[in-house]
Amino acid sequence: EKVEITKEQRALIKAILDAYNRHQIPQDVTKKLLQEQYSAEENFLLLTEVATSQVQVLVEFTKNIPGFLSLDREDQIALLKGSAVEAMFLRSAQVLSEKKPSGYTEVLEERIRKSGMSEEFMTPMFNFYKSIGELHMTQEEQALLTTITILTPDRPYVKSHEAVERLQETMLDVLRKLCVLQHPQEPQYFARLLGRLTELRTLHHYHVEMLTSWKTNDHKFTPLLCEIWDVQ
């Protein structure tokens, strides 16, 4: 049947895309990724700084998701805590798949590979990065997929499951239509995007172990990361 994006849905896409593009981490933080010297300690410190900055940007982005601030306040916190890692996997994947001339993606990949995390997490992590790169998502799709990840109703401690589900379904409907319109030659494209959300859940479980192994090697996190990841 003829897929039509309504006026309200177009306004929703614009609001989310503007928020997504407005909230980038500061250049002075990303520039350090290019400048500082290489060592496992330095890489870990830089990634911690970037992750902390990314969480701050994520909080600001989330506040601009239409309907998010009308949710129960404790649910807003539960959604942020529950989705931060997955949103950061998505964001770092999007950054790594932009082949920037500055050699920025190579540097970031190198620092992640040499940040003291054990080999067993590298393979699934970089497979995910590759699978995101192969999708060649548009900016709208990236912003909507991040929004859908944040609005996942079955995170721990979410009370008003239905309210979050309604919001997520609104976004899923918009993304489904966008995929049909922007990838007419690929009818399975929307399903492939949703498959990435399942992969994100698996990476989230790996991440809990990554944190534990970093902690046992006495790596320090920032107060914001400790709070959002319930570390220490």
Ligand X SMILES: CC(C)c1onc(-c2c(Cl)cccc2Cl)c1COc1ccc(-c2ccc3[nH]c(C(=O)O)cc3c2)cc1
**Binding region for ligand X (CB under 6 A):** 24-25, 30, 44, 47-48, 50-51, 54, 85, 88-89, 91-92, 95, 108, 112, 115, 221, 225
Residue 179 Cβ vs ligand X, minimum distance, rounded to whole Å: 24
Look up residue 110 and give its two tokens: 């190198």
Q: How far is the CB of 50 from ligand X (least distance, A)?
A: 5
For ligand X, the closer CB: 92 or 170: 92
User: Is 8 or 106 the residue whose CB approaches ligand X more closely?
Assistant: 106
- The minimum distance between CB 136 and ligand X, in angstroms, equals 18
Q: Which is nearer to ligand X, 148 or 179 (CB)?
A: 148
> Is the CB of residue 171 less than 8 Å from the CB of residue 148?
yes
Minimum CB separation of residue 109 from ligand X in Å reads 10
Q: What is the 3-state secondary structure (H, E, C) of 80-100?
A: HHHHHHHHHHHHHHHHHHCCC
Q: How far is the CB of 108 from ligand X (least distance, A)?
A: 6
Give the burial class of 118: count Cβ atoms within 10 A of its Cβ; 0-12 exposed, 13-18 middle, 19 or more buried. exposed
The CB-of-104 to ligand X minimum distance in angstroms stands at: 8
49/173 with CB nearer ligand X: 49
| Residues with Cβ within 8 Å of residue 221, at least 6 apart in sequence | 48, 211, 214, 229, 231, 232
Q: DSSP letter string over 120-146?
A: HHHHHHHHHHHHHHTT---HHHHHHHH
Q: What is the Cα–Cα distance from 123 to 116, expressed in whole angstroms?
A: 14
CB nearer to ligand X: give 89 or 189: 89
Nearer to ligand X, 90 or 174 (CB): 90
